[in-house]
Amino acid sequence: MNGSVGVNVSAATFATSQVLVLVVLSPLLIGLMRTVRARLEGRVGGGVLQPWRDLRKLLLKEPLQAQGRSWWAMAGPVLLVSSSLALCALTPLLGTVTFPSLPDDLFVVVSILLLGSVALALVGLDAGTAFGGMGSSRHMMISALVEPTVLLSVYALSIPVGSSVLSRIVEARLDDPASVLSPVSLLALLALTIAVVAETGRLPVDNPATHLELTMVHEAMVLESSGRDLAWLEVGSWLRLGVLLGLVSTLLVPWGVATDLTAAGMLVAVLALVAKLAVAATALATVEVALAKVRLFRVPELMAGSFVLAFLAVTASYLVVQG
């Protein structure tokens, strides 16, 4: 009895600190990516803190609703933020202690991810504008192609561990660091990285800085939102990017993640997460400078490629583990 209370307390501590750390870090992460891009383009850029300034301003502005919008225009952004916060709480970014009743199972995480996607797509449809609907349909198409890859690639990682709980996978990687460099792991992580880039709307799948409505995916869905609603949509998407980048980098470099609750372990975990996210964001922004957006009808080819990698990883995991 006491043991389970202790587990619940440390799981709650880890979940709360993950939420707090990611809420603070995610806008800084976007600021870092924009700054890296600006520096590589010869500009100075708005600085790392600029997304926080934008957010503060958006929260202070009066939201303006388009004619004929429903209550979903306000509820959708809140649902997106809630789903992203739930993701922050569940994913083992700081510690691998999970609630016994609510483990961070692969299928739970992917379902919550999809819940946020659907909330966002409905926000895009809600105003009834041509661009919003177009963005939503593209977003759902990409989501439909991304989710199987996410499921399959994490499934490949879960086969050697024998559990689809993300925390157990990270723990197994901490115990046996050599498994990170196994072919299964590398193939699965490559597939997962492509899926994460597509899911979070980065180049080459979607251009977050675009002004051309016809090329938009994420931007088209948020075109009609303003003020507070827009702030929630932005925070929700930034948190998703933070969580998914954090997940990929934690799976690739599991060191620093705490397996039980201690003050020193928590400090190390936070510092390690900040370092991992900073490196991952800098790398992503650097790669993006050299990339152009691919045509929408070539996105399925890219996603099919990543699905094949994930499938190969699953196949390889059976070959490697049995041998």
Max alpha carbon distance in the chain (Å)?
Answer: 64
70 touches another protein by CB under 8 A:
no
42 touches another protein by CB under 8 A:
yes
Residue 129 CB, shortest distance to another protein, in Å, is 10
295 touches another protein by CB under 8 A:
no
128 touches another protein by CB under 8 A:
no
13 touches another protein by CB under 8 A:
no
The piece of 59-67, 92-100, 235-243, 251-259 that touches another protein (CB under 8 A) is 59-67
Spatial contact of 89 and 19, defined as CB atoms under 8 Å apart: yes
Binders of another protein among residues 227 to 266 (CB under 8 A) are 227, 230
125 touches another protein by CB under 8 A:
no
Question: Judged by CB, which is closer to another protein: 211, or 322?
Answer: 211
**From residue 12, how far is each of 2, 103, 196, 254, 258 by CA, in Å?**
15, 12, 26, 21, 14
Spatial contact of 80 and 119, defined as CB atoms under 8 Å apart: yes
> For the chain, what is the total number of helices (H) and then of strands (E)?
11, 0
In the list 44, 178, 264, 292, the residue contacting another protein (rule: CB under 8 A) is 44
Residue 52 CB, shortest distance to another protein, in Å, is 9
54 touches another protein by CB under 8 A:
yes
Q: C-alpha angle 257/18/178, rounded to 5°?
A: 20
In the list 6, 24, 53, 321, the residue contacting another protein (rule: CB under 8 A) is 53
Chain centroid to Cα 159, Å, comes to 23
Question: Judged by CB, which is closer to another protein: 171, or 288?
Answer: 288
Which string of x and - marks every residue 190-229 that binds another protein (by CB under 8 A)? --------------------xx-x--x--x--xxxxxx--
**Which residues does 149 contact at the CB level (< 8 Å), separation at least 6?**
191, 192, 194, 195, 303, 306, 307, 310
Phi, psi of 95 (to 5 degrees): -140, 155
68 touches another protein by CB under 8 A:
no
28 touches another protein by CB under 8 A:
no
Residue 39 CB, shortest distance to another protein, in Å, is 8
Residue 199 CB, shortest distance to another protein, in Å, is 21
Closest C-alpha among 248, 238, 320 to residue 280: 248
87-125 per-residue burial string, b: 16 or more CB within 10 A, e: under 16: bbbbbbbbbbbbbeeebbbbebbbebbbbbbbbbbbbbb
Q: Give the span between the Cα atoms of 283 and 36, in whole angstroms.
A: 9
In the list 7, 19, 23, 50, the residue contacting another protein (rule: CB under 8 A) is 50
Tokens of 35: 């700054």
Q: How many residues bind another protein (CB under 8 A)?
A: 35
46 touches another protein by CB under 8 A:
yes
Question: Judged by CB, which is closer to another protein: 44, or 264?
Answer: 44
Residue 284 CB, shortest distance to another protein, in Å, is 15
64 touches another protein by CB under 8 A:
yes
Q: How many CA atoms lie within 13 A of 84 on its CB side?
A: 28
Q: Which residues bind another protein (CB under 8 A)?
A: 38-47, 50, 53-54, 56-57, 60-64, 66, 210-211, 213, 216, 219, 222-227, 230, 289-290
